[in-house]
Amino acid sequence: MSAIFGVDDISNILVVGAGTMGRQIAMSAALAGFSTTIYDISSDGLTAARTELQDWAAQRVAKGKMEQESAHAALERLDYSVTLGSAAAKADYVIEAAAERLDIKTQIFEELGHLTPAHAILATNSSTLGSSKIAQVTGRPAQVCNMHFFNPALVMKCVEVVRNETTSEATVKTSMQLARKMGKEPVLIHREIPGFIANRLMGAIQREALYLADSGIATIEDIDTTARSALGHPMGPFELMDMIGLDVIDFIAQSMHAESGAVEDEPNATVASLVAQGNLGRKSGTGFYDYD
């Protein structure tokens, strides 16, 4: 890395991907004072992102949770582009939030390695794929890491910064500083492991909850009640899975199992069956619970 050593050296942030995560990460960066560009191959996706973020800001102002001037300033810092080259040319820090597919991420990071300034740090928001899988194609593996935000990114405070074997100390330091500047609480994962911290902790609770329910030891309602009333969790494991989306839960399990090969990481048959039936949780109206 050449000149970038701290967050004060970052002026322009590029977010690759205008989906739910990408647009909220971008708004978090804009609120923190960074000029931020959202790139996506879909102009419709960019239009949807712009509309959603404008509506979000308007609602915050209407509720008295944000000053009009602050909202306007943040929206003014946002730019939208369907041209990666022009967006990448001025980027000091890139956060990729594209589809969770290695082939897509590999192509994106190879292009970023050619298109961004030599000092730019390249981070992936992936929750399942370690950055070591795409670091070499950038030509600057020391400047590559995971910077994993949680959904909804405008609300959730935690950011998992994951280094790979080639990630430099400067990259780690700058990424942690950037997360803090964005109002987040970063945690550092010193080496790659499937699921990182949060998904592994959540997965362990979910596996035990599913075992208790599948074995007929307790109902899902009583398991959720116990998690709330005995452990102080804001919601039970089945309620949480329904909120996240059972298709997402199943995808995370499949990804972790593909990485680890461990028996305990095998996808749960009950979850897989619900997904196959289209019962995905809150977003479909039915999951472990009905949401009519």
- Per residue in 65-83, pLDDT (tens digit) is 999 999 999 999 999 999 9
- Per residue in 263-273, pLDDT (tens digit) is 888 999 999 99
DSSP state of 43: H
pLDDT above 70: percentage of residues in the chain: 98
Tokens of 143: 């400047």
Averaged pLDDT for residues 123-138: 95
pLDDT at 151: 87
Least confident of 18-32, 159-173, 190-204: 190-204
Pairing, β 158-162 against β 144-149: antiparallel
Instruction: Say which residues have a Cβ less than 8 Å from residue 249's Cβ, sequence separation at least 6.
Output: 206, 241, 271
pLDDT at 195: 87
Could you tell me where the beta strands, DSSP code E, fall in the chain? 12-16, 35-39, 78-81, 93-96, 121-124, 144-149, 158-162, 185-189
The CATH-assigned architecture of domain 7-189 is 3-Layer(aba) Sandwich (3.40)
Instruction: Specify whether the backbone of 185 is left (phi greater than 0), alpha (psi in -120 to 50) or beta.
Output: beta
Whether residue 38 is predicted with pLDDT greater than 60 in this model: the reply is yes
- Domain ranges (residues) in the chain: 7-189, 198-280
Whether residue 288 is predicted with pLDDT greater than 70 in this model: the reply is yes
Whether residue 100 is predicted with pLDDT greater than 90 in this model: the reply is no
pLDDT at 270: 96
Residue 134: pLDDT band with limits 50, 70, 90:
very high
Averaged pLDDT for residues 117-140: 96
Cα separation, 144 vs 138, in Å, equals: 8
Whether residue 258 is predicted with pLDDT greater than 60 in this model: the reply is yes
pLDDT at 55: 98
C-alpha triplet 55, 125, 239: angle, nearest 5°? 70
Collapsed DSSP state (helix, strand, coil) of residue 210: helix
Q: Report whether the peptide linkage leading into residue 117 is cis, meaning its omega lies within 30 degrees of zero.
A: no
pLDDT at 95: 98
- Per residue in 205-248, pLDDT (tens digit) is 999 999 999 999 999 999 999 999 999 999 999 999 999 899 98
Q: Which CATH superfamily is domain 198-280 in?
A: N-(1-d-carboxylethyl)-l-norvaline Dehydrogenase; domain 2 (1.10.1040.10)
Whether residue 15 is predicted with pLDDT greater than 60 in this model: the reply is yes
Backbone angles phi, psi at 149, to 5 degrees: -90, 165
In the predicted model, what is the mean pLDDT of the chain? 95
Cα separation, 155 vs 60, in Å, equals: 12
pLDDT at 256: 86
Q: What is the reported pTM?
A: 0.90
Whether residue 107 is predicted with pLDDT greater than 90 in this model: the reply is yes
- Per residue in 175-190, pLDDT (tens digit) is 999 999 999 999 999 9
